Structure 1
């Protein structure tokens, strides 16, 4: 087609086929693309690097990092780009990444002196002197004349103890750059060891010419602190920094810490208040003041401070959260909930709002309002599916509900975003343990120790898991390894001694207890542990002496007192025990534990009337003192009616006591009052559904005494939670309920497992025997029933059925 045949558009006509502006824009865009396509990779990499350097100098670290990484994608071995990325790492204190990028820079350009010097200095600061000297050896003679090189070489000399050579390098550096802060600071630090006055004068000269005098002034404070005799000068220096830089709250914190360490606690609070006056919006300062006041003068005053701060800064939700936590800490959950709710409503989907909502959910779950707690958790996760607090709460809830698979899934989600979350890893271990996956539990506990090497819970649970698998040597090794690193952790020592005693390794157990007794501040518990070892060996005289030493250091401790009294009774020295306890009562009449122990010893010697008076005296002092009720009931053996009255009386005073509920139910059973026992257990479970032992007893009672389907299904509902239990009594109950419902295939494995764990219990053998009888295994049934009925004084619920069944075999 010729040019003359081209028809030009008529602008302004109704049907405009062409859009000249669009065409022109597209033309320019095409030109831009063409020009950019002509740009070489090296030019693009250089452009990215230049942009990154500009942004870094302007303080835009995030965008600078993006640009420099774009440059490195094009030229991975660009030394300048690697060096800039190392500087970005340095600004974030990412020293491992910094070292990696500096190594890449000098590998790409061995003559890159600045990068090599910075890498060597980093090694020197980390104490890796061989690597630092290696980098120094690669510097040329010209490079060594650089100021930063002389400072680096001085670092190496100082680390090697050659202070004279270090001083020489630093002085040469200062000749070239008199205001070099790093050289001034290092020279002053070196000089201070022999000439503090000269070092301070050197710093004063540097401070006078420095654009930013803060680093040198802080070093001056450090040198004065190190000297130990210039406390007032230290305070003056910090106060000067606070005055000159009122927005730098760190100076106030450091002064407060210094005053606290010096025992000048009365001066701490005014300093923190001054920080707040300088910067009223500083939330950290207000929290620090509240924490200090809580420690120094109590929670009530700290509460008033937080209330005042919340009133002054109503939008500072972190302060309101702190106030809510204080309410929780002091048992005022309703007030805490109200504060959390305020933050959750005001901050909506912000992190602080979600955190408040999670605390609300925690309170709901603790109160037993599972539905409300779950609803809040799901609301949080609908906004932030990886919210740590919500996932931890849901994980804990799933563990409680035996939903271990989903619990572990939630907790692993936490670890994917925070691999060092100790709580999540501990909960995973707990989930595996409760699910019966001991191998997985062991691995999880080891992972906790990788995160937190001294974690007591993980150590003790790992040890327990190993013992359950009969790996006693491995358990001992774990405890000894922990004690090698944490020799003062008495809980590790107690576990080790218990393990050694279970294996009759008396000498080793005594050695560990004696080691603890020599630790400063641990003498009392060490002697107590020694007393326990002597008791286990039957050396009761030595036990008494050890327990007495423990009590001399810790007069109100219960465990050594109980151990000493028990050892005296073993030695037929009950009179000595009574005299000791009576003397203790005279010195400390409010010691109810000693009073109850005295009553028990008197009862053991036949002084029942005096013992009863003592127990009643203890209850007059404190009607909620549970041991007195159980001891008083012990005097009433043979008088089941009186025992029932005592347990009822105790429950009126201590309604939350699971022990008294169980004792009352058992007393009802022994007296033939089965319906009363059932009612007692039901009432207790209505008040507290978490009474697991009560649920077990009620399920067993229903299975033994009811035959209707409704009652037996209720028993199954109660006992189904025991399917993953290690407790033989719980397993037997669940198995017996299945048996009574005619579900023998479910019943037998549970009852077999129970007998395997506690075969000495006659009723377990009876239940298993009946299971075998029902499944047409007469030989096995006969064997179990004979064992159940063996012995002169055997008695259990169902004994008549056991005898009748055995007679048929």
Structure 2
């Protein structure tokens, strides 16, 4: 659904005041409540919102079940654009009076704004059951189907809405949007022009026309409408900024500056517009932008926002030293305390980034000794504690921030990251979601939540979350790229193409847009065209490894191995430090059976970079494939000597030692990994298995239980099984049984799971069920002599 339709839906909230009939009540209590209610309604209609709010709440103090009072509190919240309060009050109205049509209408529009079309449809159907001629209910259904991209259905319902009310410009504007989405833009624009001529209040209609013209790239029409909007709204800054952006995007920087200077002549103290003019000039000539900013500051020397704007510009250029000089000027000048404290907190933050932890802590403590609630200083100190891994101190400082400012996004994001550091992934996820409730466009929160949903295979919710985030941050490359990849995973090639077009239009990451185009073409089987896009991506950004992987896959699918090797040799020649190309070449030769050449290439890479971890792992793979596990082991040991802190090499080496029955060395390596990475789930699983099965003392089994208890809710059956088996070994088969029931349902063809469950059931005295599980295990493990022996022993003990 277009942003203009969203704005149109919002307008519905502001149209009309719906007076409610109040049934006659007897008794002083009821009369008092109604007096307050009537007074509140009257004050609301007069625009006295604060007073109306007090009167309505007084009414609810006497009678908490007055649906009308909640409804008018909702209208007040709507006027103040407090959508949370609006939803809360309307929901209360619906609870108290299920047949309240106007409350349901407003709730339906709220659900549409939240992109919950199905819920909005339910509300509309309920309204039509009460009032079959309700035009707004039909408009809601049209908007919902428009949101679902079902344009033919949407047009049927909007025509019904217009039959019931042909005077509503808002309803007509929804039809215009549907016509445009159907591809009949000419009719949409003609209808819109007629409507603009007819309506006195044409503001939202002009905005709708600018949006349609933007989609069809009619920049001249957009410019004309923005100039009309400015002429009719001389002091509305947003229109000047919109026109300036349009002109700047059309490479007419001077014209953009002129538009904003016209606004400044009326509002000379507007800091935001002055900053935008500086940025526009800087896009042509940085020195000219700096000079203009110096001029603004000289004429308005006590404007702290302009000073900090200059600091931000210096930071964007990487001039930390210049930023520190400017901060010192603020600190030594006569600014208000809040600006001095902000400058000191900013300076401390820079010191922290430069590794001057003690100086940073001293400076923020200096601020906090005067104002212990100053948010920026508390945030810097929390970052200090995060660096020093004092999670309790991080949480303490952030809770102070959040008590004073519950919607502080930086504090919530940092708190979530602190929870992640402490292993509390669920708390982290909950906190990131709080951030998104406040600002759906917060990328720092959106990305981890989306990744969490994708890991759970909840693609639809991920997509909704992304689209909500993009409403606030429409040009964010990260969000757009994730959405494009989700579209590809769903085989929605047209949707993916539209997202790639948006990334292209933004122009900040052309390499990635070529990569995404390549992925789309590859998914559709057009490998030749995909190769061209991957090559273009790599020409722009040779370090885009995913493009190199995609290109390799496409060449192999085309059966063009020699062309692939030729390209990789040329790419390697142009990018001698790119080790990935060398690794792929070695892999190609290895798959062809030419392992000598593969090893030669890998050794060549390791001679160039002895710290190349993937070189050692690839060498080991080659030797394993050649049936030489000792040489594979030696390659990993050699790598570990070169890169002694590599967790990957330690894990692979531990696994190799396990296979060669050197369990002591495996345990030693797994323990070493956990010292630096205590939450590595695969390592925890492998170590716990060894402790349970190979070193099964009471102490080791107890430790295995403690290590794996985090796996109780895992979606990985092997992890859950390891925990359950450790529980059985520790004498808790009753706790293990529901876990193993879950595991055998998740992965019914794994013999070891049925064996473990059979042992547990046997210990619980459930012999028949135990026998059934053990026999199932025996059927599934015909070639595993060791497991077959264990199963036979367990069966003989029943």
TM-score (normalizing by structure 2): 0.60
What's the CA shift for 1:234? Answer: 5.3
Match of 1:258 in 2: 280
Match of 1:552 in 2: 536
Give the 3-state SS of the residue equivalent to 2:297 in structure 1.
helix
Q: Do the aligned partners of 2:515 and 2:533 also contact (CA within 8 Å) in 1?
A: no
Describe the shift of the 1:220–1:459 C-alpha distance in structure 2 as closer, same or farther (beyond 3 A): closer
Give matches, 1:138-149, under 5 Å: none
**1:524 is aligned to 2:514:** yes
Distance 2:700 2:226 in 1: 85
Q: Do the aligned partners of 1:661 and 1:694 also contact (CA within 8 Å) in 2?
A: no
Match of 2:381 in 1: 360
Match of 1:497 in 2: 488
Aligned match of 1:688 in 647, 659, 677?
677
Deviation string, structure 1 residues 112-145 (Cα, Å, up to 9, x no partner): xxxxxxxxxxxxxxxxx97999xxxxxxxxxxxx
Aligned match of 1:758 in 736, 744, 747?
747
Distance 1:673 1:74 in 2: 78
Distance 2:734 2:682 in 1: 25
Distance 1:190 1:579 in 2: 54
Distance 2:660 2:321 in 1: 52
Which sits farther off after the overlay, 517-526 or 592-601? 517-526
Q: Do the aligned partners of 2:433 and 2:449 also contact (CA within 8 Å) in 1?
A: no
**1:608 is aligned to 2:578:** no
Deviation string, structure 1 residues 668-714 (Cα, Å, up to 9, x no partner): 21122211111211122122323232222211211111121111111
Aligned match of 1:543 in 520, 527, 533?
527
Q: Do the aligned partners of 2:240 and 2:263 also contact (CA within 8 Å) in 1?
A: no
Aligned length: 596
Deviation string, structure 1 residues 751-800 (Cα, Å, up to 9, x no partner): 23223223344433433333234334455445544554557885597564
Q: Do the aligned partners of 2:244 and 2:256 also contact (CA within 8 Å) in 1?
A: yes
What's the CA shift for 1:610? Answer: 2.4
Match of 2:662 in 1: 673
Give matches, 1:418-437, under 5 Å: 423-424=433-434, 426=436
**1:747 is aligned to 2:768:** no
Deviation string, structure 1 residues 484-507 (Cα, Å, up to 9, x no partner): 98899342232233245xxxxxxx
Give matches, 1:427-576, under 5 Å: 467=457, 489-500=480-491, 509=492, 520=504, 524-534=514-524, 542-555=526-539, 556=542, 557-569=544-556, 573-576=560-563
**1:629 is aligned to 2:616:** yes
What's the CA shift for 1:405? Answer: 9.3
Distance 2:653 2:728 in 1: 27
Deviation string, structure 1 residues 318-343 (Cα, Å, up to 9, x no partner): 12333444456x5x4x4356425522
Aligned match of 2:691 in 696, 699, 702?
702
Aligned match of 1:592 in 579, 584, 606?
579
Describe the shift of the 1:279–1:225 C-alpha distance in structure 2 as closer, same or farther (beyond 3 A): same
**1:769 is aligned to 2:758:** yes
Give the 3-state SS of the residue equivalent to 2:360 in structure 1.
helix
Match of 1:274 in 2: 295
Distance 1:545 1:222 in 2: 38
Which sits farther off after the overlay, 733-742 or 607-616? 607-616
**1:724 is aligned to 2:713:** yes
Q: Do the aligned partners of 2:535 and 2:551 also contact (CA within 8 Å) in 1?
A: no
Match of 2:344 in 1: 320
Q: Do the aligned partners of 1:548 and 1:560 also contact (CA within 8 Å) in 2?
A: no
Deviation string, structure 1 residues 605-654 (Cα, Å, up to 9, x no partner): 22223222322333344444332222121122144444344334444555
Distance 1:463 1:220 in 2: 41
Distance 2:756 2:771 in 1: 12
Distance 2:717 2:239 in 1: 66
Deviation string, structure 1 residues 175-230 (Cα, Å, up to 9, x no partner): xxxxxxxxxxxxxx999979x9xx9xxx9xxxxxxxxxx97999999999999989
Any stretches of 5+ residues in structure 1 without a counterpart? 1-63, 76-88, 101-128, 134-156, 167-188, 204-213, 412-421, 427-443, 501-508
Give the 3-state SS of the residue equivalent to 1:578 in structure 2.
helix
Give the 3-state SS of the residue equivalent to 1:348 in structure 2.
helix
Deviation string, structure 1 residues 694-750 (Cα, Å, up to 9, x no partner): 222211211111121111111122112222222222211111111111211112222
Distance 2:484 2:600 in 1: 40
Describe the shift of the 1:163–1:780 C-alpha distance in structure 2 as closer, same or farther (beyond 3 A): closer
Give the 3-state SS of the residue equivalent to 1:318 in structure 2.
helix
Query: Which structure is richer in relative contact order (CA contacts within 8 A, separation 6 or more)?
Result: 2
TM-score (normalizing by structure 1): 0.59
Give matches, 1:198-347, under 5 Å: 231=254, 238=261, 249-250=271-272, 252-260=274-282, 263-296=284-317, 301-302=322-323, 305-306=326-327, 309-310=330-331, 316-326=340-350, 332=354, 334-335=355-356, 338-347=359-368
Distance 1:260 1:673 in 2: 65
Describe the shift of the 1:231–1:655 C-alpha distance in structure 2 as closer, same or farther (beyond 3 A): same
Which sits farther off after the overlay, 788-797 or 475-484? 475-484
Distance 2:287 2:268 in 1: 22
What's the CA shift for 1:524? Answer: 1.8
Match of 2:10 in 1: none
Give the number of the structure whose alpha-carbon radius of gyration is greater: 1
Q: Do the aligned partners of 2:260 and 2:277 also contact (CA within 8 Å) in 1?
A: no
What's the CA shift for 1:302? Answer: 4.2
Give matches, 1:144-155, under 5 Å: none
Describe the shift of the 1:715–1:217 C-alpha distance in structure 2 as closer, same or farther (beyond 3 A): closer
Q: Do the aligned partners of 1:547 and 1:564 also contact (CA within 8 Å) in 2?
A: yes
Describe the shift of the 1:714–1:323 C-alpha distance in structure 2 as closer, same or farther (beyond 3 A): same
Supply the RMSD in Å over aligned alpha carbons: 5.8
Distance 1:377 1:218 in 2: 35
Q: Do the aligned partners of 1:665 and 1:677 also contact (CA within 8 Å) in 2?
A: yes
Distance 2:334 2:763 in 1: 74
Q: Do the aligned partners of 1:221 and 1:238 also contact (CA within 8 Å) in 2?
A: no
Deviation string, structure 1 residues 286-320 (Cα, Å, up to 9, x no partner): 22112223334555654554456556579612123
Deviation string, structure 1 residues 48-78 (Cα, Å, up to 9, x no partner): xxxxxxxxxxxxxxxx998998999999xxx
Aligned match of 1:348 in 369, 387, 392?
369
Match of 2:151 in 1: none
Give the 3-state SS of the residue equivalent to 1:606 in structure 2.
coil
